[in-house]
């Protein structure tokens, strides 16, 4: 099983629902986080930078302007990562931003995989 944390807003490039990382970055950039939330957000961001690989691919195509962009999903075995994502979701919830956790067995065509995540170009029927 794979999990993805999303908000209702759509990414303008992919048309898919926006992820929690981008949503929190937007709130931080807009200076809408409280000082305590900003500290927690920065701690969580640092934790993910240290404990989650940055995918080297986001498309099956080698072309830079490929239309099909992969989406990141956590493996359900990545329990610590998922717990940290729930902390990020709580910050968004405090700002009336609804966070949904999508689950699927079929995230799409997998273009990157490590111990904790996959990046996949979604199938047409994949909820993303």
Q: Each residue of 35-84: pLDDT tens digit?
A: 999 999 999 999 999 999 988 755 444 545 555 678 999 999 999 999 99
* Residue 100: strand pairing partners: 6
CA distance 57 to 48: 18
Question: pLDDT by residue (tens digit) across 31-41?
Answer: 999 999 999 99
CA distance 69 to 28: 25
Sequence-distant (6+) residues with CB within 8 A of 103 are 1, 2, 3, 76
Mean pLDDT of the chain: 90
For 49, other C-beta atoms within 10 Å of its C-beta total 9
* Residue 75: strand pairing partners: 2
Task: Give the global pTM.
Answer: 0.86
């Amino acid at each position: 099983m794979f999990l993805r944390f999303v908000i209702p807003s759509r990414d303008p490039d992919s048309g898919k629902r926006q992820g929690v990382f981008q949503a929190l970055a937007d709130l931080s950039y807009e200076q809408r986080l409280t000082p305590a939330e900003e500290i927690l957000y920065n701690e969580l961001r640092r934790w993910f930078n240290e404990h989650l690989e940055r995918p080297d691919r986001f498309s099956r195509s080698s072309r830079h302007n490929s239309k099909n962009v992969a989406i990141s999903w956590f493996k359900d075995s990545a329990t610590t990562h998922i717990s940290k994502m729930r902390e990020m979701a709580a910050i968004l919830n405090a700002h009336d931003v609804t966070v949904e956790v999508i689950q699927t067995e079929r995230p799409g065509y997998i273009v990157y995989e490590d111990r904790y995540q996959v990046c996949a170009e979604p199938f047409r029927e994949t909820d993303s």
